[in-house]
A and B are shown apart, each in its own frame.
Chain A
Amino acid sequence: EVQLVESGGGLVKPGGSLRLSCAASGFTFSNAWMSWVRQAPGKGLEWVGRIKSKTDGGTTDYAAPVKGRFTISRDDSKNTLYLQMNSLKTEDTAVYYCTTETSYYYMDVWGKGTTVTVSS
C-alpha cells in the first residue's frame, strides 16, 4: 500500500525555523517526483513546491510566497522527503501535505498532513 506520513509540525514563533519530514512506503521513492501542498485554516489548497527524481535532474521549484525561505530536499536512501522552512511568517500557518506528483504536474497520492502554527 502506498503511504505518506508527515511529521515535524508544531508551534513556532515568527522568524523561526522548522523542518518537516515525510516518510514514504509502498512505492519506489527514488523514481518519484514529490511535492508539498499546504492549506491555511478555512482556506483552499496552495502548492508549495516540488523536487523531481534524481533521474529527472533532482531539480526543485517553489511557489512565489515561499521561494528563498523554504527548501525541499530528499534522502532516497531513507525514502524520506523534507521541507526546511526558515523565516516563518504568520501566514505560513497551515496543514502541510506531502504528495507524490506525476510528470503531468498533478498530485496522485497524499499524506494526512501535519499542522504548522506560526504565532508569537
Chain B
Amino acid sequence: SYELTQPPSVSVSPGQTARITCSGDALPKQYAYWYQQKPGQAPVLVIYKDSERPSGIPERFSGSSSGTTVTLTISGVQAEDEADYYCQSADSTHVVFGGGTKLTVL
C-alpha cells in the first residue's frame, strides 16, 4: 500500500526556519497537503495543493514540491508553531497520511 514518510521530529530555535519533508512515490503525480495539530485539538489545514495557503494561515507557512518529496517550510518559527505536522496525499481514491512530525521550538 502507498506510504508517505516523514521524519519523526524536527527541532528549531525561535526565529529560525523549520523544514519538514514528506516522501512518497506518487507525489510527482498527486498533490500534497499539510495539517497542523496541537495537543488536544483537531488538525488544521495549513497548505493545500502542494503550495497554496488557506485564508487565515500566516504567510510564514509555505509548501514546495520536488520529485517524490514535498516540503513544509515555516519561516521565522514562533513558539506557537510547536505542534505535530502531517502530510497527506491520495492513492487513487484513498487518502493517505504521513506518520507525522513533531516540531519542537527550542
Q: Are A and B genuine complex partners?
A: yes
Interface of A is mostly: strand
- Chain B residues with Cβ under 8 A from A63's Cβ? 94
How many positions in chain B have a CB within 8 Å of any CB in the partner chain? 26
Interface of B is mostly: strand
B48 close to chain A: CB less than 8 A: yes
A35-B100 contact, Cβ under 8 Å, with A105-B90, A108-B45? no
How many positions in chain A have a CB within 8 Å of any CB in the partner chain? 21
A48 to B97, CA, bound (A): 11
> Which B positions have Cβ atoms within 8 angstroms of A?
1, 31, 33, 35, 37, 41-45, 48-49, 54, 84, 86, 88-90, 93-100
CB-based closest 8 A-B pairs: A105-B90, A47-B95, A110-B42, A106-B33, A44-B100, A45-B97, A61-B93, A44-B99
